[in-house]
Amino acid sequence: MSTNLIILAAGKGTRMNSDSPKVLHAVAGAPLLIHAMKAGASLEPARTVIVAGHGADEVSKAARAYDESAEIVLQTEQNGTGHAVLCTKDALAKATGDVLVLYGDTPFISPETLSDMRDARATFDVVVLGFEAADPARYGRLVMDGNTLERIVEFKDASDDERAITFCNSGVILCSAAHMFELLAQVTNNNASGEYYLTDIIGLARAAGLTATAVACDEAETMGVNSRADLSAAETAFQARARREALEAGVTLTAPETVFFAHDTYIGPDTIVEPNVVFGPKVTIENGAHIRAFSHLEGAHVSRGAVVGPYARLRPGAELSENVHVGNFVEIKNATLAEGAKANHLTYIGDASIGEGTNIGAGTITCNYDGVFKHHTHIGARAFIGSNTMLIAPVSVGDEAMTATGAVVNKDVPEGAMAISRTPQENKPNLARKLFDKLRAKKARQQKEDE
């Protein structure tokens, strides 16, 4: 049976004290909304509908950057979760199969949990996601009779006996599209908040003779983000899980608490990651690489046996082949380094291709930007780029060619050739001694005047 995904993302999030919509605040380098979309995508939904409100244009842009087929509907008034889902009725008028309701500010519901909910749908008409709360606080309570969910009671409307229940509502619901909208049409706002609760459909479903149940997940999966403190807690929770998973997958983290992952970081087994390394989005590290301390990687691919850092920066488009060495204070951007190439210190390589076995000397810069356009530098295989070489792109250095130390290269260097571009050195006898004597005399006069 197909599933259609609805993600509620209309709230402003006033407790965030931000001009940005709450669901666009990031955890592990991705907006909260994207985490929810990733979770829902595990069910391969036929359609994904985002309910936007505050900052709808920004929310739409972020959603479609992740899934260009995502549909956006507007909730112009914040009248509760039931009203938010009802806003999708026209968009899903011809939808078949089920609808799953997720929340854009709840980033950690796992694909395994959603799969459990879908399995339960084979037996029950309506499936709710619940959790045992360490502190039930103001969560809605799930009133169960064996495996049957009788109703959901919001805290504000609960009796003392109902408030004693610790099995709580996450808000995530799965049922057929037909039942969802039939039941929502009957929901009223006759409650303490004057809102249309999505949770009211459970009682209505039971009254109509439909079956309902609740699937339990770990409380950590249902963590919602409503404040900066919640956002920090969510980041901490994500990083703890990511570090644990990396260690279990065969990655060595010499100081795990100092390594930070993005939502999509992939690191292969037998890779060593030293302290204080930060992975931004879109980083892939193959087996057996070595990422040394204080390095920052984003949008990069590092192949088997490569060594990065310490204090290296890989920016988007950095492609390191096997056994490449990128050392301290080296920055790589939109550049490919072929097998065995080395840039060991104090170098910028941008918009370039470096051939296999080539050595890039300290202080080398590919001068790729003219103020308007970016230009490409090509360096062939087994070349030697002398220290402090400036490569004025577009320019090409051939295989087994060389540039002299301090060269400024603005013309192509043929294969096997050596480029020398320096101002001729001239030595002036005794000039340094005369200059020092003059400066010391001036300093002595200034000190005497200050006395």
35 is catalytic: no
- pTM for the model stands at 0.90
- Say if residue 60 is exposed, middle or buried (CB neighbours under 10 Å; 0-12, 13-18, 19+): middle
Report H helices in 314-430.
Answer: none
Kindly report the CATH class assigned to 3-222. alpha beta
Choose the catalytic residue: 179, 263, 296, 345: 345
Burial of 309 (0-12, 13-18, 19+ CB in 10 A): buried
What value does the mean pLDDT of the chain take?
A: 96
At residue 337, the pLDDT reads: 98
Q: Where are the domains of the chain?
A: 3-222, 228-419
Query: Residue 238 and residue 108: Cα distance in Å, rounded?
Result: 8
Q: What is the DSSP letter of 298?
A: -
In the prediction, which pLDDT does 260 show?
Answer: 98
- The answer to whether residues 108 and 13 touch, using CB atoms and an 8 Å cutoff, is no
CB 367 within 8 A of CB 349: no
Structural contact between residues 165 and 151, judged by C-beta atoms closer than 8 angstroms: no
pLDDT at 334: 98
Residue 245: C-alpha distances to residues 115, 261, 265, 298 (Å): 20, 11, 11, 20
Q: What is the pLDDT of residues 47-83, one digit of tens each?
A: 999 999 999 999 999 999 999 999 999 998 889 999 9
**What are the tens digits of pLDDT across the range 318-344?**
999 999 999 999 999 999 999 999 999
CATH code reported for the domain at 228-419? 2.160.10.10
The proportion of the chain whose per-residue pLDDT surpasses 70, expressed as a percent, equals 100
**β-pairing, 342-354 with 377-379?**
parallel
| pLDDT reported for residue 138 | 83
Residue 421: pLDDT band (50, 70, 90) is very high
pLDDT at 396: 98
Instruction: State the pLDDT confidence band at 347, using cuts at 50, 70 and 90.
Output: very high
pLDDT digits (tens, 9 = 90+) for 96-115: 999 999 999 999 999 999 99
Note the pLDDT tens digit of each residue in 360-374. 999 999 999 999 999
pLDDT digits (tens, 9 = 90+) for 440-450: 999 999 998 88
**pLDDT for the residue 287:** 98
